[in-house]
């Protein structure tokens, strides 16, 4: 069973835009924002990847690390490492990108381990390496930045009580996106669109469908 308090390590066949691999274990002490994408996915192109680049440029790498994860569950032949490298250059994307490993199944390894339903998907890990958010589809910039900033303000060894207090403040301050109708423009790729709550202690995770590709 997936445990958001101890999420699995990324399984990558190669890393791009990085001189060496960036395993999650090595990033503890910082907030990590991970964007899972495909190079042909309209939602990734329109929302997920530009947002990830804005986050990478807007936060100090000493506090917030942005990582891309290429989960090629559709048209893998068009998303080889070589083609992915060219794509990153063409799109002007500068953050490190892991290419999800193939594990012999129908879906890539990390995508399977994290129960990712499609692209784009955004995961947010806190300073202790716990998975605090799992979004499928478009996430509003304001919400994402507010949540990342709130997690930045937690101590690296914050007790559960402090984290729960942060979650309560976020819930009080941010409008629940599920309370409003959403526009689904942009072409979402994959899955059956159900929401994941990968936060047993902090139950404020939501998903939006805007422009994603589902398996």
pLDDT band at 1 (very low <50, low <70, confident <90, very high): confident
Within a domain: residue 211? no
The pair of structure tokens assigned to 167 is 């979650």
| Strands (E) located in 3-143 | 12-16, 31-37, 64-70, 97-100, 118-119, 121-125, 131-136
Domain presence at residue 42 = yes
- Stretch 59-87: mean pLDDT: 97
Counting other chains too, the contacts that 161-169 makes at CB distance below 8 Å and 24 or more residues apart are 163/126, 163/201, 163/202, 164/201, 164/202, 167/201, 167/202, 167/203, 167/204
The reported pLDDT for the residue numbered 103 is 82
Question: Which of 24-33, 43-52, 124-133, 168-177 has the weakest average pLDDT?
Answer: 168-177
Does residue 117 lie within any of the structural domains? yes
**pLDDT above 70 for 35:** yes
Domain count, the chain: 1
Query: For residue 187, what pLDDT is reported?
Result: 58
Report if residue 215 sits inside a domain. Answer: no
Is 58's pLDDT higher than 90?
Answer: yes
Question: CA 199 to CA 37: how far, in whole Å?
Answer: 22
The reply to whether 23 falls in a domain is yes
Any idea which residue has 């929302």 for tokens?
A: 47
User: Which residues make beta-bridge pairs with 119?
Assistant: 189, 213
Give the pLDDT score at 121.
Answer: 98
pLDDT at 214: 84
Give the Cα separation of 88 and 69 in Å (integer).
12
CATH of the domain at 134: 3.40.30.10
For residues 210-215, give the mean pLDDT.
73
**pTM across the whole model:** 0.88
| 107 domain-assigned | yes
Which residue range(s) make up the domain with 88?
12-175
Domain annotation covers residue 28: yes
Tell me if 74 is assigned to some domain: yes
The tokens for 43 are 């939602």
């Amino acid at each position: 069973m997936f445990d958001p308090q101890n999420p699995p390590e990324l399984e990558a066949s190669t890393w791009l835009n990085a001189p060496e691999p960036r395993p999650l274990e090595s990033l503890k002490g910082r907030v990590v924002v991970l964007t899972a994408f495909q190079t042909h996915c309209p939602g990734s192109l329109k929302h997920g990847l530009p947002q990830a680049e804005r986050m990478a440029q807007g936060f100090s790498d000493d506090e917030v690390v942005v990582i891309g994860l290429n989960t090629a569950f559709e048209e893998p032949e068009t998303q080889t490492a070589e083609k992915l490298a060219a794509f990153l250059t063409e799109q002007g994307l500068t953050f490190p990108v892991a290419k999800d490993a193939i594990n012999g199944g129908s879906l890539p390894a990390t995508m399977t381990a994290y129960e990712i339903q499609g692209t784009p998907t955004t995961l947010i890990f806190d300073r202790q390496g716990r998975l605090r958010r799992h979004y499928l589809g478009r996430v509003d910039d304001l919400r994402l930045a507010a949540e990342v900033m709130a997690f930045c303000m937690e101590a690296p060894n914050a007790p559960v009580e402090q984290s729960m207090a942060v979650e309560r403040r976020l819930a009080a301050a941010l409008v629940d996106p599920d309370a409003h109708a959403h526009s689904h423009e942009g072409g979402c790729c994959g899955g059956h669109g159900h929401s994941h709550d990968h936060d047993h202690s902090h139950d404020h995770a939501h998903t939006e469908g805007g422009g994603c590709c589902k398996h």
